[in-house]
Every structure is written in C-alpha cells, then in structure tokens.
Amino acid sequence: MIIENQQMVTGAVIDAMSNAENPRLREIMAALVRHAHAFAREVKLTEEEFEQGLAFLNAIGQATNDSHNEAVLFSDVLGFSTLVCLLNNGNAGATETAAALLGPFWRMNSPATANGGSILRSPTPGPALFVNCRIVDVDGAPIAGVEVDVWQASPVGLYENQDDDQADMNLRGKFRTDSEGRFSFRSVRPAGYPVPTHGPVGDLLRAQHRHPYRPAHLHFLGFKQGYKTLITQVFVAEDDRLQTDVVFGVTRHLIGTYVRHEDGAPPAEGVSPPRYTLDYGFVMEPGEAKLPVPPIK
C-alpha cells in the first residue's frame, strides 16, 4: 500500500499484521499499534524524542543481566506491573485481592526449610522477626501442602544477590503449609530500601524527582495445583513510605501488623529485645498453578 498521509499508517500496519493465526497475538498487536500511534500523535513526538526513547529501550536491555532485570524494574516504576497484577487477580480486578507484583528479586530453588525454621543463612544483624501465616481457600478452609517461597531484603535494605556480605540464599526459604494451612519461620525485620538506580530507570526517577524507595515488606509466593499461584507482599504498617512506594505495590489488604515486643518470651528465649511478630492470613483463589519466569538466576 502506498502511504498517502500520516493518518493512513495505522490502518496499514494493522492490515499487514492481520494474517497472524494466533487471534490473541492479532488482538494484542493491533491494540499496541493503535495506542502507540495515538500516543505519538497526542504528544507530537519529535524525531529527537523518538531517538531518545529508542536509546532508553536499548539501555534497558543492556542493563539487564543474570542478577539484575531492568525491564521488570521499568514496568514496576510505571505502575504497569501492579496494574497487570490487579487486572488478573481478585476476580479479574472486581474485588480486593491478596496479590501484589513479583518484583525483580524472586529466585527459583529457595532452600527448603522446616516450619518454624530460620531463613538466616549467614549472620544478619537486626531485630528478630517471628512470622506465623495461614493460607485458606475462598470458603475459609485451610489449604495444606502449599509450597511457599519467602524472600526479603536485609535490615540494611539489600537482597542477598545484591550484597557480598550475605550468604547465597540468605533471607530466602521454601515452606510447606501443614494440615491447618499454617507455616511459620524466623527472620529479621525487613527494612525499606531503594530499588536499583544505576541504570536508565534510575535516570528516569531522578529526572522526575521521585524517590527510589519501597516500604519495608516480606515477599511470598504460594504454589499448589488447583489454585492460582499467589504472589504477594506484606508491608510494615509503620513505614513512612507506605503512601509513596516507588512501584505502587501497597494495597490496604497487604498492610501487616508487625508487633513489637520488648520481652524474650518463647519462642524467643535468648533473643535480645526488641523482637517482632507478624501474624498474617492469605486467601488463594481456585485457578491454574503456574510459576512465573524468574527475573534473575
């Protein structure tokens, strides 16, 4: 087709893509082209801005490696990851959900850990935290045998893969719910932390005068056949940055009560105060058990 004017381009591209057998690919690509072209028209994108945008996308790829995923980070700071999460959980976005974005730091093969065990794999200074969780189905019945991955940043605000001072898999563990749907573990209270800012996403945040911090949280991934994989986070209610999470992950449902105790009562004998406890309940929806592609190795 000869392109007579700018208005013709959009339809020409959609036509050219219309022979894809996969109907979902057709639908997604046609919508992407419509919206991308409308965006360029709306902002009257200049050639310099277009070049800058392409350089930004290339820089995202170049900043990504086995231990860092800049593409996930880009989607996260745009709120896109949270949007996709909320559109796909809680009855397709109609109701509250226990789900939250995965983020770039989940790793496969966290160490299997007995219920009640510790996820400290190397000395990790910080206030002790005892976590007791229960997983139920939408009718409130306990779900036994859920495999639950847990991961968190240390009290200095780094995941083990970002920090040479932590052992491999420190503050990561894999649990299995018991017959009452319970699992529990010992850790240290998480701290808020800045997302990585060494790449193009950091440049963008600085240009927008946005702080790079996430409020303190624990991550959970619950997996069992017959249930939609539950990916979520539980936030520390007292964190000052709850309202301004750089990746928009905080929903009311996910604000946990991390209770501070000044004593060393069981199961905390020998633990110097203060210690914290978190009791939290998760609901898993019926659905397909699928693991995400790990953002890092």
Nearest to ligand BEZ of 103, 181 (CB atom): 103
Contact region for ligand BEZ (CB under 6 A) — 32-40, 101-109, 116-124, 131-139? 101-109
User: How many positions of this chain bind ligand BEZ (CB under 6 A)?
Assistant: 8
* CA dihedral (86, 89, 92, 94) positive or negative: negative
Q: Is 234 exposed, middle or buried (0-12, 13-18, 19+ CB in 10 A)?
A: buried
Our finding on whether 214 is near ligand BEZ (CB under 6 A) is yes
Our finding on whether 68 is near ligand BEZ (CB under 6 A) is no
> For ligand BEZ, which residue of 60, 150, 195, 234 counts as binding (CB under 6 A)?
195
Nearest to ligand BEZ of 70, 147 (CB atom): 70
CB of residue 247 to ligand BEZ, shortest distance in Å:
4
Our finding on whether 215 is near ligand BEZ (CB under 6 A) is no
Q: Is 164 exposed, middle or buried (0-12, 13-18, 19+ CB in 10 A)?
A: exposed
CA 219, 222, 226: angle at the middle one, nearest 5? 160
Name the residue among 175, 170, 158, 157 with its Cα closest to residue 282: 175
> For ligand BEZ, which residue of 90, 104, 222, 256 counts as binding (CB under 6 A)?
104
Our finding on whether 278 is near ligand BEZ (CB under 6 A) is no
Q: Which amino acid is at 258?
A: Y
Nearest to ligand BEZ of 76, 149 (CB atom): 76
- Annotated catalytic residues are 159, 193, 214, 217, 219
Our finding on whether 146 is near ligand BEZ (CB under 6 A) is no
Contact region for ligand BEZ (CB under 6 A) — 25-33, 97-105, 137-145, 176-184? 97-105
CB of residue 202 to ligand BEZ, shortest distance in Å:
12
Name the residue among 175, 166, 107 with its Cα closest to residue 147: 175
Extract the tokens encoding 227. Answer: 């249930």
Binding mask 245-274 for ligand BEZ (x = CB under 6 A): --x---------------------------
Our finding on whether 239 is near ligand BEZ (CB under 6 A) is no
Contact region for ligand BEZ (CB under 6 A) — 47-55, 99-107, 109-117, 272-280? 99-107
CB of residue 32 to ligand BEZ, shortest distance in Å:
23
**Secondary element (H or E) of residue 275:** strand 275-284
Cα distances from 51 to residues 37, 44, 46, 126, in angstroms, run 16, 14, 9, 46
**Secondary element (H or E) of residue 133:** strand 128-137
Our finding on whether 222 is near ligand BEZ (CB under 6 A) is no
CB of residue 51 to ligand BEZ, shortest distance in Å:
27
Q: What is the DSSP letter of 52?
A: H
Crossing angle for the helix pair 23-43 and 6-16, to the nearest 10 degrees = 170
Q: Is 297 exposed, middle or buried (0-12, 13-18, 19+ CB in 10 A)?
A: exposed
Q: Which residues bind ligand BEZ (CB under 6 A)?
A: 73, 76, 103-105, 195, 214, 247
